[in-house]
Structure 1
Amino acid sequence: MSVDGWNTVLVLGGIRSGKSEFAESLVADAPQVRYVATAADAEADDAEWATRLAAHRNRRPETWTTEETAGDPRRLADVIASAEPHETLLVDDLGGWVTVLLDPAHQPADDTATIAELATAIRESPARLVLVSPEVGLSLVPTTPLGRAFTDALGAANRAVADACDAVVLVVAGQPAWLKPAAPRPATVPAPGSTAGIPAPGSTAGIPAPGSPSAVPTPHGPAPQHAGPQHAGPQHAAPEPAALPDVLTPTLPPEPSPAADAGTPWSAPTMALPMLATGLVIQPGMELPMPDEYAGPQAVDRLATLDVPGAGLGVLDRVVGFAAATQGTPTPVPWDSVRVLLVHGDHSGGAAAGTVPGESARRARQARAGKGALARLAAESGASLQVVDAPTAGPIETAPALTPEQVESALRHGWRLAEQAADAGVRLLVLGACGAGTEAAAAAVLAATAGAEPPAVLGRVLNGAGEYDDAAWMVRCAAVRDALHRTRRSPRGAKDVLAELGGGDVAVATGVLLGATARRLPVMVDGPVGVAAGMVSRDLAGQARHWCLLADHGGHPAVRLAADVLGLTPLLDLRLDLGEGANALAALPLLRSVLALAAALPTHPALGGDQDDEPADDEPDFREPEPDGPGPTSTEPEPADPTGWRAG
């Protein structure tokens, strides 16, 4: 179950509002559900409460399992924290949990600390999680001390859980209203007893904490746009070769890292990290900036008022909303400064089965020399190109891909790359990768973070002769299977997944996403490595995925699944397969044109725009001349008649 990529959902509602039915419908498509019941059993003389509990039990499918936490309120956080990525949990409800928490049998207890523990478990849980809670804040203040204590504790719990969840919905009289994120698609609650599914809310780019990156001019001004072939008269001249892109060389830090692998330039510490000054490191639960909550919806609403002959931009209105939210303005401008980061890192062992030895290194040298598809498209788009080397990952079927020290260094290196781009005035990052075995590593990461089956997300292997190698595909599947079996008892934290399964390229890409989020810099991800990094970064800072844009899924199954989980709807469905980074650059001119059109078009006259009855002073007059009479029309000015009469 995923609700347009949101794994944790809080369902609020009043008594008999339909909140439980709505929550159950959200997990109706899950093969198995762990139903976590928090309320205590009914007293012997409370037949009405027993009837309510029986109705809840009768609605649950036979495939669901029930788990009781009424005996110990602290156990709820443990159940959520211990859930696996492939599991689906339905907690119903937090009102019963707070009732047990305030029971004198469990006092004295630190209610605030217990609620904080629950919120932390929800925020860090890799499982699919739906929680139900009553909304009592709209009623009158209770007249008894115990009633006031309940409403205060439940209000605090609802606020903490809502902040930890990806999505929040309020059900009123059977009608759901999505509170977080804003402006979803409408949905309906099924009638009591119905098993019909609920349409998922739509993804939006607007999130709280408005803000936008400052306009930092580049040292050399905006990147020049390629003019294209020139035409002289009726004869077409041969097209001129495209200019080489601005190929960058990563700068070395002034001092080496004290880590064991300090001899490699990619492992240098990120001295520009704002959190290092306070002694913190990259860790789960970081609070990074979010795009503007209001600019995105305002920009999309503004599109309906533009003076266009047709219906508008269609699904490409999403790129306008994304650009508006990340730029913090309802009238976003095209990205004038773009940098491509190509992360080069190989994977050894069975993950690289079927690849030509040295092919990825040749692609990286080709990009550094300003040649190949990626460099040509970068030159056409006026984008700079930077190739970043990551260390070769070990064979994941037998040993970890990286050491913990290498993971830390790779994350910081990626963060520093994003900071360097932001300091240079870059407005958009394009994240790509090349390397042997990257598809298998991405499949392993998806299996660990989203509960995916490796054969379902591992694309077919195309060898150097352009033929499909199914034997190599089976070797890759076996390598991922063995890696998952080897790590079945290992933690599934973000850094653990990078060390055991991801490798250097995924770790550097994850650091890029986190650093770009910290600097309010949007990133266009492209290919399995980018979306795998998005899955890992979600557990370090959930805000990172809201700064990501996916132009085309390329027909890759891993990209399709990760995009669904992350809530990244591809803008196009061209099935481009030009290599990671090149697919995004091929779509970039279209996206720029959409933004330029949305920013330049005026409001339609029927909605208060300019009527255009009279030509502007600086525009030529194309109106037909009025005829002077039955004779031929003359465009020459007629000499004035001193008598005031016209000759005729």
Structure 2
Amino acid sequence: MSWQSGRRLLVLGGIRSGKSELAEQLVSDAAQVRYVATAAGSDDPDWRARVAAHRERRPAGWSIEEIGSDPHRLVTLLGEAKPDETLLVDDLGGWLTATLDAAGAWDENARAVDVEPLAAAVRDCPAAALVLVSPEVGLSVVAHTTAGRLFTDRIGEINRAVADACDAVAFVVAGQPTWVKGADPRGAGARTFAAGPVRTPAPAEPAAQVATPAPEPTESIVTDPGLLAWSETDTMLLPALDAAAPGTTTGMPTIAVGMSLPMPDEAASAAAGERLSTLDVAGAGFGALAPVVRFAAGTQGLPIPRPWQNVRLLLLHADHAGDVAAGESPATAARRLDDAERGEGTLALLAGAAGAAVQTVRCPGAVGAIEDADALSDAEVDAALRYGWELAESAVDAGTDLIVLGAGGAGADAAAAAVIAATANGEAAALLGRVVVPGGRIDDLAWMRRCGAVRDALHRVRSRSSDPRAVLAALGGADHAVATGVLLGAASRRTPVLLDGPVGVAAALVARDFGAQTRHWILLPDTGGHPAVRLGADVLGVTPVLDLKLGLGEGATALAALPMLRSALTLAATLPGA
């Protein structure tokens, strides 16, 4: 298809607005489309002409299912959909009319339509894609008849419930769609909240060609100017979110120790695991990839999970002061960040091959060295946590079904090792990887300076190491606090996260102290051979999927592993049972 599979979309519009045409365009590239016609038959010539026009527009290869005479079948039909088919339901107004006709319920007191079963069926539909069309009649004057008022009220309730269950909602006026929830899945000028450019790199060139592929043009999105500045210091580029500020999510819960967050669906996970043993494969099975299928099933709430299609890498960047950055050049880190924003370099190649978008987030660097002073104030920690939460929510609202968490910047990994040491009772010397400088040389002196800095920082904060906010303030910095907020926000929206490197694992350990459920929403493709990542994974109870010891940095390892993880989900969703 031309848009990400596994999505649920609602298209609203008035009479002759073009809503059906938009819905048909959205599924035009799908291999298998089942068109669900909801309207009951009629002897009215004008109505028959409208139906005939709809039929003429549909491709001959689409299968048609008419349920006007049995409107209650819609909920069952959605639940029985196949994982490899696309459903187009046109429209919910016809379904409501047929339902009320069947019940003889055209009066003010009747409640013949139970909205929740329909919304639940939309939410849980296993189809590769689901598009629903519905009329928006609430903008007109109040109807003068009982039946008219009843229809207007009921279709409004239906639209609200179905919109809540869908990933994206379009409102079509005079043939022009406006996306009131999520973004245009066809990628046409969608606006999303972002701290830096969101780029979807072009697919990588074939291996025989050596030229670096150029990314497709994408819109560079900057922070909403209505947000409050983090502080008055010019170098503080990341904004703080205020509950009353424009563009923020109202109702965001207070981030505090002991938060209650959702858990994945254990029944769906178990069912997916049992189904794997029935699949018709020639070999011994999925091996280390079987937990990936169970993980995806639990996070999606589906016994047959869908392959992730709309993946976003959040690349957090901050430089850390002092000896934790020994052997690293801020200029080199800045160049790599610039490459990512231009769609060049390692991340662009891997993101293009994996079909993932890359969003950069420039976080303020630490003002002082953590061996001497805290990296952030308590207020700045709170602002960064909330900002990370908002980044996750924004990604999910734009249709992202998998977040990859990457990080870069001078000293970021060593500061993460300090956070891991504080939360997992590790030794600095055992958690800091070797320092490799340009040219492949091992810089032992830089490694010793890092060890000394982390040791002194841990000694300085030893009385506060049980407080996750204090750990972030004293050792982590803005990038670690934002990463923690991303994990909490993603868990709150039931969205899985691929971790990559020490910063992601350090954030997961801190996020666990705020809300223990967060660890059930994370997947670690590889430890990269990093000792701090190995310890953090052990404490979290997270088993790395692979053991390739890839240390590509900044989220690149997760992007390299992503096609293999997706392959497991594709096989699990499409292979027949033995």
TMscore range, shorter length: 0.5 to 0.7
CA contact (8 A) 1:293 1:325 kept: yes
Provide TM-score, normalisation by structure 2. 0.63
Matches of 2:533 and 2:520, distance apart in 1: 16
Larger helix percent? 2
Note if 1:219 corresponds to 2:193. Answer: no
1:259 to partner: Cα distance: 5.7
1:501 to partner: Cα distance: 0.5
- What is the aligned partner in structure 2 of residue 530 from structure 1? 504
1:238 to partner: Cα distance: 4.9
Q: Percent identity?
A: 53
- 1:14-413 superposed matches below 5 A: 215-216=167-168, 218-221=183-186, 238=209, 242-244=213-215, 249-257=220-228, 260-261=231-232, 264-269=236-241, 271=243, 281-393=254-366, 394-413=368-387
Note if 1:488 corresponds to 2:490. Answer: no
Choose the corresponding residue for 2:390, options 403, 416, 426.
416
Matches of 1:228 and 1:359, distance apart in 2: 24
SS at match of 1:365: helix
Residue by residue over 1:38-91, the C-alpha shift from the partner in whole angstroms, topping out at 9 and shown as x without a partner, is xxxxxxxxxxxxxxxxxxxxxxxxxxxxxxxxxxxxxxxxxxxxxxxxxxxxxx
CA contact (8 A) 1:413 1:511 kept: yes
In structure 2, relative to structure 1, the CA distance for the partners of 1:354 and 1:265 (3 Å cut) is closer
Matches of 1:265 and 1:323, distance apart in 2: 35
Choose the corresponding residue for 1:583, options 526, 533, 557.
557
1:242 to partner: Cα distance: 3.2
- What is the aligned partner in structure 2 of residue 558 from structure 1? 532
Matches of 1:259 and 1:296, distance apart in 2: 41
- What is the aligned partner in structure 1 of residue 444 from structure 2? 470
Matches of 1:392 and 1:418, distance apart in 2: 21
1:486 to partner: Cα distance: 1.3
AA aligned to 1:345 is: A
Matches of 1:214 and 1:457, distance apart in 2: 44
SS at match of 2:266: coil
CA contact (8 A) 1:355 1:464 kept: no
In structure 2, relative to structure 1, the CA distance for the partners of 1:343 and 1:246 (3 Å cut) is farther
Q: 5+ unaligned residues in a row in structure 2: which ranges?
A: 1-163, 169-181, 188-198
- 1:623-638 superposed matches below 5 A: none
Note if 1:598 corresponds to 2:563. Answer: no
In structure 2, relative to structure 1, the CA distance for the partners of 1:447 and 1:252 (3 Å cut) is same
Cα RMSD, aligned residues only: 2.7
Choose the corresponding residue for 2:519, options 542, 545, 552.
545
CA contact (8 A) 2:257 2:515 kept: yes
1:575 to partner: Cα distance: 0.9
- What is the aligned partner in structure 2 of residue 6 from structure 1? none
1:308 to partner: Cα distance: 1.1
- What is the aligned partner in structure 2 of residue 19 from structure 1? none
CA contact (8 A) 1:213 1:520 kept: no
SS at match of 2:570: helix
SS at match of 1:333: coil
SS at match of 1:388: strand
Matches of 2:259 and 2:416, distance apart in 1: 23
CA contact (8 A) 2:526 2:546 kept: yes
Matches of 2:488 and 2:202, distance apart in 1: 31
In structure 2, relative to structure 1, the CA distance for the partners of 1:479 and 1:366 (3 Å cut) is same
CA contact (8 A) 1:245 1:385 kept: no
- What is the aligned partner in structure 2 of residue 509 from structure 1? 483
- What is the aligned partner in structure 2 of residue 74 from structure 1? none
Larger radius of gyration: 1
Choose the corresponding residue for 2:544, options 570, 580, 597.
570
1:272 to partner: Cα distance: 9.8
In structure 2, relative to structure 1, the CA distance for the partners of 1:345 and 1:561 (3 Å cut) is same
Matches of 1:403 and 1:250, distance apart in 2: 28
In structure 2, relative to structure 1, the CA distance for the partners of 1:247 and 1:326 (3 Å cut) is farther
Matches of 2:286 and 2:201, distance apart in 1: 24
CA contact (8 A) 2:468 2:514 kept: yes
1:379 to partner: Cα distance: 1.3
SS at match of 1:433: strand
1:241 to partner: Cα distance: 5.2
Residue by residue over 1:150-201, the C-alpha shift from the partner in whole angstroms, topping out at 9 and shown as x without a partner, is xxxxxxxxxxxxxxxxxxxxxxxxxxxxxxxxxxxxxxxxxxxxxxxxxxxx
Matches of 1:595 and 1:343, distance apart in 2: 28
1:484 to partner: Cα distance: 1.2
CA contact (8 A) 1:247 1:370 kept: no
CA contact (8 A) 2:404 2:558 kept: yes
CA contact (8 A) 1:442 1:528 kept: yes
- What is the aligned partner in structure 2 of residue 61 from structure 1? none
SS at match of 1:489: helix
Provide TM-score, normalisation by structure 1. 0.56
SS at match of 1:429: strand
AA aligned to 1:343 is: L
CA contact (8 A) 1:307 1:602 kept: yes
Residue by residue over 1:414-444, the C-alpha shift from the partner in whole angstroms, topping out at 9 and shown as x without a partner, is 1111111001001111110011111221111
